[in-house]
Chains A and B, each alone.
Chain A
Amino acid sequence: DSGVTQTPKHLITATGQRVTLRCSPRSGDLSVYWYQQSLDQGLQFLIQYYNGEERAKGNILERFSAQQFPDLHSELNLSSLELGDSALYFCASSVRGAGALGEQFFGPGTRLTVL
């Protein structure tokens, strides 16, 4: 157990719908990262937050958005869902979000299936 929690574990929805994925980082970690992993694919970096502020963006679609709240949990919102959005979404946290980056701790992931 990495100490990072993600809910829900599984999500099945239809095209065109909107979903919210939630992540709670390890206690003390200020930085949260979101990744998308499609079947048999690598980890695609989506977005990073540090202490409530967006710090870096990757290949995140305009239909996707995220935020980090004062209690440091983060939510990833996916809207106008398409079949191709079906994937495993991981959240990771680390102590530092800048400078000497170090180990990221990954949550168990949310498996999203869009039908």
Chain B
Amino acid sequence: GENVEQHPSTLSVQEGDSAVIKCTYSDSASNYFPWYKQELGKRPQLIIDIRSNVGEKKDQRIAVTLNKTAKHFSLHITETQPEDSAVYFCAGTSGTYKYIFGTGTRLKVLA
């Protein structure tokens, strides 16, 4: 069935360093790839997204890259700050109607 794999499950970085989270998807028809940030006990919130007709998108310290051939996409956070500490979820679309989420990456930014 449809699947989105996400790695790593946990990631610790020093403040100011970069963090990279990777996802692979199985549905070749998937055309929309959002990234959500979820702080403890809070709702997931969209931080960046990319559509399949674009290879890269950047928003200040956050960027997402997409490789359709390899069916993987990555989240890049530069100059990490303590407030970046959270769980990050990637997702891909499946069929016409639904989203499949990755299992999440717990990012810890060490001060």
Contact = CB atoms under 8 A, between A and B. Distances in A.
A62 interface: no
A51 interface: no
> DSSP class of B's interface residues: helix, strand, loop or mixed?
strand
Interface size class of B (residues with CB under 8 A): 20 to 34
A56 B102 contact: no
Contact of A33 (B34, B96, B99): B99
Interface of A: prevailing SS:
loop
A58 B97 CA distance: 11
Interface in B74-111: 89, 93, 95-104
A101 B101 CA distance: 14
Interface of B: 31-32, 34, 36, 42-46, 49, 51, 89, 93, 95-104
